[in-house]
Amino acid sequence: MADNLSRKLIASHLVEGKPTAGSEIALNIDQALLQDILGTLVMLELDAMGIERVKTSPSVQYIDHTLIQQDNLTADAHLFLKSACERLGVWYSGPGNGISHPVHMERFGVPGQSLVGCDSHTPAAGALGMLAIGAGGIEVAMAMAGEPLYLPMPEIIGIHLSGELPDWVSAKDIILELLRRHGVAGAKNSILEYHGPGLAGLSAMDRHVLANMGTEMGATTSVFPSDEVIHDFMRSRGREADWRPLAADPGCSYDREEHIDLSRLEPLIALPSSPDNVVPVSEVAGEPLFQAYIGSSANPGYRDIAVVAEIVKGRSIAGNVSLDINPATRRGLAALIDEGHLGALIAAGARLHQPGCNGCIGMGQAPAAGRNSLRTVPRNFPGRSGTREDSIFLCSPETAAASALQGVITDPRTLDMPYPRPREPEEMRVSDSWFIPPLPLERARRVTLLATDNTPPLPLIEPLPERIEAPILLKCGDNISTDDIIPAGARVLPLWSNVHASADYTFEAIDPGYVERARRRGEAGHIILGGNNYGQGSSRENAALLPRLLGLQVVIARSFARIHWQNLPCFGVLPLTLETPADYDRLEEGQQLRIDDLRDQLAAGRRIEARLEDGEPLGLIHELSPRQLDILSAGGVINWLKQKDGP
């Protein structure tokens, strides 16, 4: 029977469950990817589990988010992570190598293998034909310890591409078109599988752009075939031996299908402050501009910066604009230097920043309050840039470059010049000397973790109680992101390894009084009420852990984003949806809720009945599997694993 590529990849890694959409499945994981701000928690979790050596191979720890060393905290964290890598059998990619996703694709990605990462943009590796999934750090730790990765079986959405992209339109415009059509939750619990003749004109890094930002649609992952384009990419990186062809069977079907005629696309732009707030660039042309920012994991390719260099070559950036160039990888930066593109950028007035995540996560390059910033990053949630009152637009490198030249938002098709098409160098080999491999086991056993006061052990979490009686301490609207729950940026990010210190910042952008109210309640507990798509965005597990440490017991929402929904029970928090969505309007902050016989209700079925303080019933629904209920009852994954493995 003809099958699509996604189902073939799942079948080759399936260890438990039936691949029926919505059913829980378990996948064997080949590789693991860690980034530094959440990798620290993963290492602490592995230590708490008593793991001596990780099972996934390769497992790679990247230093790409915490690059601003304004004091000792960041450098101390790097030393801790390096020592943890040595002790646990993990590759270490130090500061300067670049962003985890493109670096992993260049150096470690293998078509057909599975990858889990503690970063929501891990699906970028789907560009190679990998089954790459973002997850909370605790689930990544479990996979590294040899446990399967559990998730709801996704629907498979086939994205048929035909035609060729017009001049001044590139890969970013394709994913912005999908976001315009379907929104930030339009692919929840789905895999986006790209196919069709239009693929031939998309490079490996073009595909990376689409796979990376499929996350912004809520997709579990994105999948591309491993064809001659990928063969050429791996050959140029000196990794041809790792390539293998992979494709969907002819005549296969998909659960849903979508068609994009590339030739009909035009330059698009996402307005503040959501990736799906998409319009043609021509509709906002002429708006003032403060900053144009090129780079990040969403546009990490050599071509993405080289095309900007060709556009501005021999010209000058408008005096009112900061053109920030953020190379994604060391190898890409070296190639830009070798080919003369970096010189052209600097001569035009651009500012150069080190390879890493940087401004995408609010670590530097924060714009002035209320001033328009055009960025090629994947997200424009409020405050993510490092400026709470920001005005961030998402666009292609071409649109950002044209706008930087003109000093206002500009449709790049209006530039009086031919469209540049820079070619990638034939060889872009990645040196092994930039990576530190795992130590042999006997040497690893002698390594001591270089922990500091900023990397304390994780606290214990109490098991789920039999009865919950607590107030709604916070009522949130739709599309609350994990950035809203726990901010990143240079002010808070260095504290993420210390859950006690970082808890002080929980929900500060939504309600600065939340932490104080939660601490007054303490162990008596509380409830949070959310709207649609609660917990969208980053996979950061501390968005579940920190509210739990402040006493959160239950989150009730109209709907959840997948990764955050999975993170909550991993830390002993019960996620429930409203049986009647209209009940959201009659629930208020401060209202008391009671759930009796909670464990019995959870065991009996999907429906949970709560009572309001006036005695009125409130119908709630849980979608947790028996395994997740066991984890929840134990007080989280670490407790559950210890009980499972016994004394």
Interval 131-180: pLDDT, tens: 999 999 999 999 999 999 999 999 999 999 999 999 999 999 999 999 99
pLDDT band (50, 70, 90) for residue 433: confident
Q: Tell me if the domain spanning 5-264 has CATH number 3.50.50.60.
A: no
Domain range annotation of the chain = 5-264, 268-414, 468-645
pLDDT digits (tens, 9 = 90+) for 556-584: 999 999 999 999 999 999 999 999 999 99
Helix (H) or strand (E) holding 149: strand 149-152
Distance between CA atoms of 239 and 232, rounded to whole angstroms? 10
Whether 101 has a pLDDT exceeding 60, the answer reads yes
Q: Report pLDDT for 201.
A: 96
**Would you state the pLDDT for residue 584?**
97
Q: Please tell me the predicted confidence (pLDDT) of residue 45.
A: 92
Report whether pLDDT(70) > 90. Answer: no
Backbone angles phi, psi at 222, to 5 degrees: -125, 150
How confident is the model at residue 430, as a pLDDT? Answer: 82
Whole-Å CA distances, 45 to 9, 151, 460, 497, 552:
29, 20, 11, 11, 20
Per-residue model confidence (pLDDT) at position 9? 98
Q: List the one residue out of 360, 352, 301 whose CA is nearest residue 331.
A: 301
Q: What is the structure's pLDDT at 460?
A: 86
Between 7-11, 193-197, 261-265, 455-459, the lowest mean confidence (pLDDT) is in 455-459
Quick check: 645 pLDDT over 70?
A: no
Check pLDDT > 70 for residue 646: no
Three-state DSSP string of 31-49 = EEEEEHHHHHHHHHHHHHH
Per-residue pLDDT at 641: 84
Residue 464 has pLDDT above 90, yes or no: no
pLDDT at 217 over 60: yes
574-585 per-residue burial string, b: 16 or more CB within 10 A, e: under 16: bbbbbeeeebbe
Q: What's the pLDDT at 1?
A: 82
Pairing of strands 526-530, 552-557: parallel
Quick one: average pLDDT of 515-538? 95
Q: Please, which residues have CB within 8 angstroms of residue 410's CB and are 6 or more apart in sequence?
A: 281, 285, 399, 402, 403
Q: Return d(Cα 35, Cα 43) in angstroms, integer.
A: 11
| Mean pLDDT, all residues of the chain | 95
Tokens of 445: 């056993």
> Which pLDDT score, from 0 to 100, does residue 638 have?
87
- For the cut 70, the answer to whether the pLDDT of residue 292 exceeds it is yes
Do 5-264 and 468-645 fold alike per CATH? Answer: no
Q: Which CATH class is domain 468-645?
A: alpha beta
Rounded to whole angstroms, the Cα distance separating 82 from 87 reads: 9
Name every residue whose Cβ is closer than 8 Å to that of residue 42 and which is 6 or more positions away in sequence: 34, 118, 137, 138, 140, 141, 144
- Would you say residue 647 has pLDDT above 60? no
> Taking 70 as the threshold, does the pLDDT of residue 118 lie above it?
yes
Domain 268-414, what architecture?
2-Layer Sandwich (3.30)
3-state secondary structure 493-557: HHHCCCHHHHHHHCCCCCCCCHHHHHHHHHHHCEEEEECCCECECCCCCHHHHHHHHCCEEEEEE
